[in-house]
Amino acid sequence: MTEDLKKESKAQVGGQAVMEGVMMRSPHTVSVAVRKADGTIILQKKPYESLTKRNKILGMPIFRGGIILIESMVLGIKALTYSGDIAMQDEKQKDAKEESSSENKKKESLLSKLWMVFMVIFSFGIGLLIFFYIPLVLTELLGAESGLMFNLIDGVIRLAFFLAYLFLISQWKEIRRIFEYHGAEHKSIFAFENTGETTVQAANQYKTFHPRCGTSFLMIVLLVSIVVFVFLGKPDTIGERLLRLAFVPVIGGLSYELIKLSDKFSKNPIVRLFILPGLWLQRITTREPDEKQLEVAIVALKAALGKDLPENVVLDES
């Protein structure tokens, strides 16, 4: 690899699979590429700069992890909503070959934004219920008294819930399709980071397991939360339970720093042991993509990096 390519490939690029597509995020751009039913790839590309880059305090270690976690969730839901809108447009075109009026498009855009807000609130609430509140209740029912034992049992239950959740959703055909795009995202990023190339041929040579994956990050969050909560002891009151909730950004921040370190020293044998659980978990959340799926991921990656795009890409300027 030339020195220019080495320098370029150091740029941190992350992504997320969406419905029939991939979202990619570079330090200055967020792009979403989606394959339409007619085979064309529609691309949405927008400038974006993290709060951690705009504010020195928020960019400090620990602080930045919580901010990036929230930003990633918001951007991810926006990307999923956008890909869902494209899928709905394809369905409407099957039923009727007429375009919506300008007024209808405005209504659809408003409904889309309202739906996104609802999904953020709903997802956050369900997440708290399943992965925070219910494990606490079950641990209390098991009669754990000491702070250490209580938090160990609570952590194991949360981990079991997380694994069961991933396994169950992986059985859905639609989710397996998204997991294939997840694999395409990882393979294309691997190719860029190792060779600087952004081609389907280069991406095809790599595995679908990436140490910086969100799945690995969530695994680290669960493990770090056990350690942090041990120091908080057994929560006997509502106030003590809410205190745990207040520590979630701290846990996210610590986990982010750990995953950055694990990526930096991924060839170290001890570090490899640390990241192995997350890589194993990706056997559930990623699938081997086909070349068409890799093509979509490469388009999203090129757009995020400001590279030239293939002719079959339609830019959505709305």
One-letter-per-residue 3-state SS of 17-86? EECCEEEEECCCEEEEEEECCCCCEEEEEEECCCHHHHCCCCCCCCHHHHHHHHHHHHHHHHHHHHHHHH
Of all residues in the chain, what percent are helix, strand and coil, respectively (each to 5)? 65, 10, 25
Is the CA virtual torsion 258, 263, 267, 272 positive or negative? Answer: positive
What gap in Å lies between CA 144 and CA 138, rounded to an integer?
10
pTM to 2 decimals? Answer: 0.84
Q: Quote the DSSP letter at residue 204.
A: T
pLDDT values of the chain reduced to their tens digit, one per residue, 318 residues: 444 444 444 557 889 999 999 999 998 999 999 999 888 999 999 999 899 889 888 889 888 888 888 888 889 888 988 898 888 876 666 555 444 455 555 555 556 556 656 666 666 677 777 878 889 889 989 988 888 999 999 999 999 999 998 888 888 888 899 999 999 999 999 999 998 899 999 999 999 998 888 888 888 888 999 999 999 889 888 888 888 888 888 898 999 888 888 877 877 888 888 888 888 899 999 999 999 999 999 999 999 999 999 888 989 877
Which residues, 6+ apart, have CB-to-CB distance to 289 below 8 Å?
Answer: 180, 181, 183, 184, 187, 208, 297
DSSP state string for 84-121: HHHHHHHHHHHH--PPPPHHHHHHHHHHHHHHHHHHHH
Is the distance from CB of 258 to CB of 216 less than 8 angstroms?
A: no
Q: What is the pLDDT of residue 275?
A: 83
Which residues, 6+ apart, have CB-to-CB distance to 224 below 8 Å?
Answer: 251, 254, 255, 258
C-alpha distance from residue 252 to each of 61, 210, 217, 248 (Å): 11, 19, 9, 6
> Residue 135 has which token pair?
């494990």
Q: What is the pLDDT of residue 296?
A: 96
C-alpha distance from residue 224 to each of 51, 58, 248, 290 (Å): 24, 21, 10, 35
Q: Could you tell me which residues are beta bridge partners of residue 273?
A: none
What gap in Å lies between CA 128 and CA 116, rounded to an integer?
18
What gap in Å lies between CA 275 and CA 252, rounded to an integer?
16
- Using DSSP's 3-state secondary structure scheme, residue 313 falls into strand
Count the Cβ atoms, other than its own, within 10 Å of residue 117.
Answer: 10
